[in-house]
Chains A and B, each alone.
Chain A
Amino acid sequence: MLGLLRARRGAVILFGLAAVVPLAVRDAYFLDSLVLILLWGALSAAWNVAGGYAGQVSIGHASFFGIGAYSAALMVTRFGRGPWLGMLVGVVLSIGAGFIIGFLSNRLKGPYFALSTIAFSQVLLIGVSRWRGFTSGAEGIPVPFRPGFLTLGLGHVGWVYMALAMALICFAVEVYLERSRVGYQLAGVREDEDAAEALGIPTRRLKVVAVTLSAALTSVCGSLWAQYIGFVDPTYVFSVDLSVRFALNTIIGGMGTALGPFLGSILITSLETYLRATFSGVKAGFTGIYLIIYGTALILVVRFVPEGLAGIAARLRVRRAHA
Chain B
Amino acid sequence: MTTHDEIEARLLRAFELSPSEDGLRRLDQRVARAIAQPTPIPYRGGQTRRMILRPLLLLGAFVLLTGAVVGGARLLDQIFESSGAPGWRLAWDRAEQLDLTATDAGVTITLVRAYADLNQVLVGFTVEGLEPAPVSGSGSGASAPIEWRAALRDPSGRTEQEWASSRGGTHRDEPGLAAIVNTWEGSVTPMAGTWELIFTSVGYNSGGLVPGECNVGATDPQCVSPPPSAMVDGTWQFEFELPAPAGTLLSPNVSSTQGQATLTLTELRISPTMITSRIALRVADSAVADWWPASGWEPWVHSMSTRHDGTEHPGNSSSHVTQDPDAQGPDGDVFEFYTFAGVDEATGTWEIEISEITYRASELDTPEQRVQLSGPWTLTVTVP
**Is B truly associated with A?**
no
Residue numbers of B with Cβ under 8 A of A are none
